C-alpha cells in the first residue's frame, strides 16, 4: 500500500470512530424502536382484524384456576400422576405382547434357523443371544411406554397447560438458579432422560439450559421404575409386616422419585453457584393461548420425533452392548469368564459400599438402556454364584415370571436388605444411559459437560451408598 492509501485508511477509521462517539451507545435501541414504530404504521394500514379477540370468558377463568394458590399445585400433581399411571398401566399389555413375540417366538425361531444352516456356536451366541436379544429387549420394554407417554405429554403441551406449569413453578426453580421450564424437561425426563435432554431446547437461556441438561438424570426415567418396583417389593416389602408390605414398598419407590426431584433442585442450585456462575442467563417465557390440541399431528410428531428417534438411538447402542454382554459371559481365561474375573475383582470395593460386583458389571455393560439392567443382573448372578437349573445360559439375559423366583436367585447370590436399598439409590444416582449421554453431547456439543453429567451422579451415588452402608452396618450389624 502506498503512503497516500494508508493515510486515507487512517482518516476513514478516525472519522468512523468520531461518528461512533457522536451517535452514542443507544443507537441500537433507537434503531429497534424505529423499526417497531414503522412496523406498527404498516400493520395499521394493511392488516384487517376480524372482530375483536379479547382474553376473557373461559380462558381467563381457566387461567385463574390453573394459577390459583389453592388449586394450582394439586391440579399439577393430579395431571402428572394420571399421565404416569396411564403410561405404566397402559404399557403392560403391549410390552408383554412384544416380549412374547420377540423373546418367546422369534428368538427360538432364529436359534433353530442358525442350527439349520449350521452357524458356528460362537457366531450364533454373539448374533442371536447377544445382539438380537439386547435389541429385542430394548424394543419390548421401551417402545410401549414411550408411545403412550410422549403423545399424552405433547397433547398437554399443545393445549397450553404445560407452559402454565412452567409459569407456576418458575419461582421455585428460580431459587435453585434454574428456569421454570425445567419443571417440564424434568417431567419429560420421568418418561425418558434422552427425550428430557432434547426437550431442554425450549429453554433459551444458555446457563439454565445447561443446568436442566445436567440435572435431567435425577428424574427417575421409565427404564428405572421397574427396577425400583421389583427391588422394593422383594427387599423393602419383605422387611416389614406382610399387611403393610405393599404400601411401604410403593412408598419407597415414590420416596426415591421425590428424592430425585429434591436432588435435581439442590444440584441445580450448586451448579448455578459454582461452575455455571458466569454463564449468560436470560429469562423469557411465552404463554400461548389455550387451543384445542391437534390430535393427529401430535400423534405423528411425538411418535416420529420423540419415540422413534430415542428408540433408534437406544438400538444403535443396544446391539454392540448385547455383543459385549454375551462375550463377557463366554470368553474365559484360565477357566474363569471375563464376567467372573471382573466381579471377583470389584467385589471388595462394591461390597464395602453396600453393593456387589455383579451390580457394578451390570451397570457398565447394560449402559444402552436401564431396562436391561435387571435381566443382566439375573444372568450374571446365576453365572457367578453357580446356581443350577435357572437362567438361559452364560451371556443370555432373562427375566423371571414371579418376584419370589427373582428373590430366590438374588438371595442365593448373597443379596441383603442393604444391597436392595443401595441398588435403589444407585439406580437413581448413576451415569445416564448411553443414549442420554450421546444426546447430551449432541445438544451441548461439549465433551466437558457430557463428562460432568456422567460423573456427577455416579460420584454422588458412590458416596451416598457408602454412607448408607456404614450407617446400616452400625445399626443392624
- Point out which residues bind another protein (CB under 8 A): 17, 20-21, 25, 29, 32-33, 36-37, 55, 63-64, 67-69, 72-73, 167-168, 170-172, 174, 180, 204, 207, 273-274, 277-289, 463, 466-467, 470-471, 473-474
The nearest distance, CB 283 to another protein, in angstroms, is 5
The nearest distance, CB 161 to another protein, in angstroms, is 14
The nearest distance, CB 53 to another protein, in angstroms, is 9
What would the DSSP string read from start to end of 410-468?
HHHTT--HHHHHHHHHHHHSSPPPHHHHHHHHHHH--HHHHHHHHHHHHHHHHHHHHHH
The nearest distance, CB 406 to another protein, in angstroms, is 30
The nearest distance, CB 346 to another protein, in angstroms, is 20
Of 207 and 430, which has the nearer Cβ to another protein? Answer: 207
CB-based contact 457:432 (threshold 8 Å): yes
Of 109 and 459, which has the nearer Cβ to another protein? Answer: 459
The nearest distance, CB 358 to another protein, in angstroms, is 24
Of 287 and 304, which has the nearer Cβ to another protein? Answer: 287
Of 239 and 285, which has the nearer Cβ to another protein? Answer: 285
Please enumerate in sequence order all residues whose Cβ is within 8 A of that of 461, keeping only pairs 6 or more positions apart, or say none: 425, 426, 428, 429, 430
Of 320 and 414, which has the nearer Cβ to another protein? Answer: 414
Compute how many other C-beta atoms are within 10 angstroms of the C-beta atom of residue 78.
11
Please enumerate in sequence order all residues whose Cβ is within 8 A of that of 302, keeping only pairs 6 or more positions apart, or say none: 150, 151, 153, 154
The nearest distance, CB 205 to another protein, in angstroms, is 8
Which single residue is written with the C-alpha cell 417440564? 184
The nearest distance, CB 396 to another protein, in angstroms, is 39
CB-based contact 318:326 (threshold 8 Å): no
The nearest distance, CB 17 to another protein, in angstroms, is 8
Compute how many other C-beta atoms are within 10 angstroms of the C-beta atom of residue 119.
16
Please enumerate in sequence order all residues whose Cβ is within 8 A of that of 127, keeping only pairs 6 or more positions apart, or say none: 114, 119
Of 441 and 466, which has the nearer Cβ to another protein? Answer: 466
Cell numbers at residue 228, please? 425400583
CB-based contact 185:216 (threshold 8 Å): yes
Of 53 and 243, which has the nearer Cβ to another protein? Answer: 53
First-residue to last-residue Cα distance in the chain = 87
For residue 363, the number of C-alpha atoms closer than 13 Å in the C-beta half-sphere is 22
Cell numbers at residue 153, please? 405429554
> Among candidates 170, 195, 164, which has minimal Cα distance to 182?
170
User: Three-state DSSP class for 290?
Assistant: coil
Of 46 and 402, which has the nearer Cβ to another protein? Answer: 46
- The rounded distance, in Å, linking the Cα atoms of 280 and 286 is 20
Of 29 and 104, which has the nearer Cβ to another protein? Answer: 29
Amino acid at each position: 500500500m502506498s503512503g497516500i492509501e494508508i493515510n486515507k485508511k487512517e482518516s476513514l477509521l478516525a472519522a468512523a470512530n468520531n461518528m461512533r462517539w457522536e451517535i452514542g451507545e443507544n443507537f441500537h435501541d433507537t434503531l429497534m424502536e424505529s423499526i417497531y414504530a414503522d412496523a406498527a404504521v404498516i400493520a395499521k394500514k394493511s392488516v384487517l382484524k376480524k372482530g375483536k379477540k379479547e382474553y376473557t370468558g373461559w380462558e381467563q377463568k381457566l387461567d385463574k384456576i390453573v394459577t390459583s394458590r389453592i388449586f394450582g399445585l394439586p391440579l399439577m400433581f393430579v395431571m402428572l400422576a394420571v399421565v404416569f399411571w396411564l403410561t405404566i398401566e397402559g404399557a403392560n399389555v403391549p410390552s408383554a405382547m412384544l416380549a412374547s413375540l420377540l423373546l418367546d417366538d422369534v428368538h427360538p425361531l432364529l436359534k433353530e434357523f442358525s442350527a439349520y444352516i449350521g452357524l458356528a456356536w460362537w457366531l450364533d451366541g454373539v448374533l442371536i443371544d447377544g445382539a438380537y436379544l439386547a435389541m429385542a429387549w430394548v424394543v419390548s420394554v421401551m417402545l410401549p411406554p414411550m408411545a403412550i407417554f410422549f403423545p399424552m405429554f405433547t397433547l398437554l403441551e399443545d393445549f397450553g397447560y404445560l407452559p402454565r406449569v412452567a409459569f407456576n413453578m418458575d419461582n421455585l426453580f428460580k431459587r435453585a438458579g434454574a428456569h421454570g421450564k425445567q419443571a417440564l424437561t424434568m417431567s419429560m425426563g420421568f418418561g425418558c432422560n434422552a427425550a428430557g435432554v432434547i426437550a431442554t431446547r425450549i429453554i433459551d437461556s444458555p446457563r439454565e439450559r445447561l443446568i436442566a441438561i445436567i440435572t435431567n438424570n435425577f428424574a427417575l426415567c421409565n427404564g428405572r421404575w421397574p427396577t425400583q418396583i421389583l427391588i422394593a417389593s422383594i427387599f423393602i416389602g419383605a422387611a416389614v409386616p406382610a399387611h403393610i408390605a405393599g404400601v411401604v414398598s410403593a412408598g419407597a419407590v415414590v420416596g426415591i422419585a421425590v428424592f430425585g426431584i429434591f436432588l435435581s433442585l439442590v444440584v441445580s442450585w450448586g451448579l448455578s453457584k459454582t461452575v455455571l456462575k458466569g454463564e449468560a442467563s436470560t429469562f423469557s417465557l411465552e404463554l400461548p393461548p389455550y387451543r384445542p390440541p391437534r390430535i393427529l399431528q401430535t400423534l405423528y410428531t411425538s411418535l416420529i420425533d420423540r419415540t422413534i428417534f430415542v428408540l433408534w438411538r437406544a438400538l444403535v447402542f443396544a446391539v454392540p452392548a448385547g455383543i459385549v454382554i454375551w462375550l463377557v459371559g463366554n470368553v474365559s481365561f484360565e477357566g474363569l469368564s471375563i464376567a467372573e474375573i471382573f466381579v471377583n475383582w470389584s467385589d471388595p470395593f462394591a461390597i464395602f459400599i453396600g453393593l456387589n460386583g455383579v451390580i457394578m458389571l451390570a451397570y457398565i455393560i447394560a449402559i444402552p438402556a436401564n431396562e436391561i439392567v435387571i435381566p443382566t443382573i439375573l444372568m450374571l448372578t446365576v453365572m457367578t454364584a453357580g446356581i443350577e437349573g435357572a437362567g438361559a445360559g452364560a451371556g443370555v439375559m432373562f427375566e423371571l415370571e414371579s418376584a419370589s423366583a427373582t428373590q430366590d436367585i438374588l438371595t442365593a447370590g448373597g443379596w441383603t436388605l442393604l444391597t436392595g436399598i443401595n441398588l435403589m439409590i444407585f439406580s437413581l444416582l448413576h451415569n445416564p444411559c448411553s443414549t442420554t449421554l450421546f444426546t447430551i453431547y449432541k445438544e451441548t456439543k461439549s465433551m466437558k459437560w457430557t463428562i460432568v453429567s456422567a460423573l456427577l451422579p455416579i460420584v454422588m451415588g458412590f458416596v451416598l451408598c457408602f454412607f448408607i452402608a456404614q450407617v446400616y452396618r452400625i445399626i443392624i450389624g
